[in-house]
Chain A
Amino acid sequence: MAEMIPTPERMKRSQRPMPEQDPKKRVCNFDEVPLGYTTEDAIYEAQRCLQCKPAPCVEGCPAEIHIPQFILKIVEEGFASAYLEILKTNSLPTMCGRVCPQEEQCQRACVYNKMGKPISIGRLERFVSDWARKHDTKEKLPDSKKKSKLVAVVGSGPAGLTCAADLAKMGYDVTIFEALHKTGGVLTYGIPEFRLPKKIVGYEVDKIKDLGVKIVTDFVVGLTKGVDELAGEFDAIFLANGAGAPQFMHIPGENLNDVYSANEFLTRSNLMKAYKFPEFDTPIKAGKKVVVIGGGNVAMDAARTALRLGAKDVHVVYRRTKEEAPARAEEIAHAEEEGIVFDFLTLPVRILGDEKGNVTGMECIKMRLGEPDESGRRRPLPIEGSNFVMQVDMVICAIGTAANPIVARSATSVQTNKRGYFIVDEKTRATSREGIFAGGDITRGSATVISAIGDGKKAARAIDRYLSSGGSLRKSKK
């Protein structure tokens, strides 16, 4: 068994890098890019941890994972117990270890961050959860008595899955309603295979089914049945339908044939497996010269997918600079390594096409940064007369998503804000209607996997309190 090492030695060590697929090879496949730590890597990295008390890293984690504790267990080679430690507060560590913006959360708060070499908490979390998946480690659940109360969960993204799992563990009878034919939300249809393999999402979903959660796919709440109707059948409802409506720039040429929303492009590729066409039936276009508009994770995913589909030349245009780009630093670095070109301070103004609808180019204008705006970021301003045309044959618009009104429209007395997001109590996720709770992107706008998980957990606790104190939606009046 490995042991902690003396502090000075810990301090001398540098961060253990993550083995990755070679950029030249990986652009030709959809396999996962980071390969994961070996046991030796993980122990080496874990031994660096100073086991701070109190531990600032924990405060940086929205799920308040017991970080030093699980890291110590890695050093002691108690991988199963490290996993169980994480599970106490985070139900989907296989996901978070891969897609959390760690450098802005737990790792930013780590005491080593000042020296530029925070503990690789995310990589360790990933190592532990992958180990547990390979060894099929399961938590022992206390024998909670089956409860007769029924809970409906709308949406099977990370928020919905977490809430359902937690409630099922407490003994509730939970049913998830999902619009698509597959579960997982953005984890399934948005984030590509090379960042989050779908068999991992499937594994997590299967575990949740094993808890007794029922999952009804092909069910659009608001169309197949409304929230009001579900309210007559269930004792509590958790709304976690995400914020999936794609936004466009409203510039000329946006409806030309080879202009995609990132959602369409990624959904075709991930959910429908169009990258395996014609083995799978759904087609997708592979442009030669592709430009992606936007600077977030979604833009990186779209650009890297385009590359893997065979594009020769992929650009990302973003109206601010690299510093303001909301994508994870790691994802931008991955994209750069793969040969994606970034055009910062650039704003598209028009997409050009021929009479058949083919894209022939995109006109842009150069930007400069002005005074900071409400968000605190410096406002990009156009430089007059700097227009130029990029020669491209495909455009992917990744400028964000908005609330889809289908669910809200069918929910009487559940208040939304101006942008269509449900208004909730921050702590309990309770909406304005008793017995109905909401969380994840549909309450925050596009956020993160871990914040969605956090909301699911909070809502599960609040729903338990509501139901155990005698509350029942189906028996209450609107």
Chain B
Amino acid sequence: MYKIITKREIAPNIISLEVAAPLIAKRVKPGQFIILLVDERGERIPVTIADYNRENGRIRIIFQVVGKTTAQLSQMNEGDELFALVGPLGNPSEIDNYGTVVTVGGGTGIASVYPITRELKEAGNRVISIIGAKTRDLIIMEDEIRKASTELLVTTDDGSYARKGFVTEILDEVLQKEKDVKKVWAIGPAPMMKAASEVTKPHGIETIVSLNAIMVDGTGMCGSCRVTVNGETKFVCVDGPEFNGHLVDWPEFMNRLARYEKMEKHSFEAYRKVCGEENG
């Protein structure tokens, strides 16, 4: 039903899939995500829709292998079918002509920030993009982001490519220089989004983050994805995934991300063992 049309490993352990999902491709807007199941026994995992083609009915997802499900997904090939795929879930990003905006992507967050960046520019904004990763190999979608934004700044943590440093350091510099930034999007690992929110706070610039909470249904039915924002409980899947980063209760959010750490590790190790044996 949900056939994988193309598969590419765009960086070590980071894979891009194009999947046939015409109904989703028709309606999706930047900021939305899907939930997929690899097989009947699988876990429902959320992944951002990194790109879409309304004509050929395909969506593109980009994911990093971090555990059992993503490892299993990385073993699938062109022509294989996913067991389930549902979307588009969550609210679209609020795209408007703000003036000057900054989009920041860290790691696979680059994929999430890409469609937002593109749409912001199309809406008439001057978009400064900052992307970063641990090392040179892990910088993804550089050309696409360059095309989608007005200006692009690249960093690597280890300095193996472009500037050395964290995306948040560059963000700080940009905000010192640019006096008229209206809004910032920062998407990536939770510590990065938290740090980016701390950088923008003294400047009083609204900062949107996209929370990667642990989900089950993704439609507001279970409450697994809940997070405290401005003192209120919100469900990331239906009230988000984007929130004002200055209002998110980060320590609670990060604690909740680690809820199943032990079991996840166990599951991943068991999978690797079986797979390793099977593949010789």
Residues of A within 8 A of B (CB): 179-181, 189, 217-220, 223-225, 244-246, 248, 250, 254-258, 260-261, 263-264, 267-268, 272-273, 277-283, 285, 355-357, 404, 406
Contacts and interface: CB of A to CB of B under 8 A. Distances in A.
A264 B88 CA distance: 21
A246 B252 contact: no
A165 B72 CA distance: 38
9 contacts: A220-B89, A223-B89, A223-B219, A245-B220, A268-B216, A273-B41, A280-B41, A356-B255, A404-B220
Contact of B84 (A181, A225, A261, A357): A181
Given A267-B216, A282-B216, A283-B263, A257 B256 contact: yes
Contacts of A255: 226-228, 233, 249, 252, 256
Given A257-B255, A257-B259, A357-B255, A223 B222 contact: no
Contact of A279 (B41, B69, B222): B41
Which are the 9 A-B pairs with shortest beta-carbon distances?
Answer: A357-B255, A283-B263, A264-B222, A261-B223, A181-B84, A281-B43, A218-B86, A283-B260, A244-B221
A218 B258 CA distance: 27
B238 interface: yes
Contacts of A189: 221
Interface string B240-280: 00000000010110011011100110110010000000000
Contact of A278 (B69, B251, B266): B266
Contacts of B258: 257, 356-357
A399 to B, nearest CB: 12
Given A179-B86, A248-B233, A281-B69, A224 B27 contact: yes
Interface residues of B, number: 43
Nearest to B226: A255
A56 B267 CA distance: 56
B87 interface: yes
Interface centre among A260, A263, A283 (most CB of B within 10 A): A283
B86 A220 contact: yes
B217 interface: yes
Contact of B217 (A180, A223, A224, A280): A180
Nearest to B36: A218
Interface of B: 23-24, 27, 37, 41-44, 68-69, 83-89, 216-217, 219-224, 226-228, 233, 238, 249, 251-252, 255-256, 258-260, 263-264, 266-267, 270
A155 to B, nearest CB: 12
Contacts of A277: 263, 267
Contacts of B219: 179, 220, 223, 404, 406
B24 A224 contact: yes
Given A223-B89, A245-B220, A404-B219, 20 more contacts: A179-B86, A181-B37, A223-B27, A224-B23, A224-B24, A244-B221, A255-B227, A255-B249, A257-B259, A258-B259, A261-B222, A261-B223, A263-B221, A267-B217, A267-B222, A277-B263, A280-B42, A283-B43, A357-B256, A406-B219
A250 B233 contact: yes
A250 B228 CA distance: 11
Nearest to A220: B219
Contacts of B256: 255, 257, 357
B41 to A, nearest CB: 5
Interface centre among A181, A355, A404 (most CB of B within 10 A): A181
Nearest to A178: B86
Given A281-B41, A281-B69, A356-B255, A246 B86 contact: no
A217 B223 contact: no
A244 to B, nearest CB: 4
A156 B18 CA distance: 30
A224 B44 contact: no
Given A250-B233, A404-B220, A219 B255 contact: no
A255 B227 CA distance: 7
A255 B259 CA distance: 11
Contacts of A218: 84-86
A246 B43 contact: no
B221 A245 contact: yes
A281 B267 contact: yes
A278 B252 contact: no
Contacts of B217: 179-180, 267
A264 B220 contact: no
Contacts of A257: 255-256, 258-259
B265 to A, nearest CB: 10
A385 to B, nearest CB: 28
A256 B255 CA distance: 8
Contact of B87 (A217, A224, A267): A224
Interface centre among B219, B227, B228 (most CB of A within 10 A): B219
A283 B42 CA distance: 10
Contact of A263 (B27, B86, B223): B223
Given A250-B233, A283-B260, A404 B221 contact: yes
B43 A278 contact: no
B113 to A, nearest CB: 22
Nearest to A355: B251
Contacts of A280: 41-42
Contacts of B27: 223-225
A258 B224 CA distance: 10
Contact of B270 (A179, A181, A278, A283): A278
A224 B21 CA distance: 11
B221 A254 contact: no
Nearest to A265: B222
A406 to B, nearest CB: 7
A254 B43 contact: no
Interface centre among B68, B217, B264 (most CB of A within 10 A): B217
Nearest to B35: A218
Given A224-B23, A281-B43, A181 B222 contact: no
A176 to B, nearest CB: 15
Contact of B86 (A219, A260, A267, A278): A219
B238 A406 contact: yes
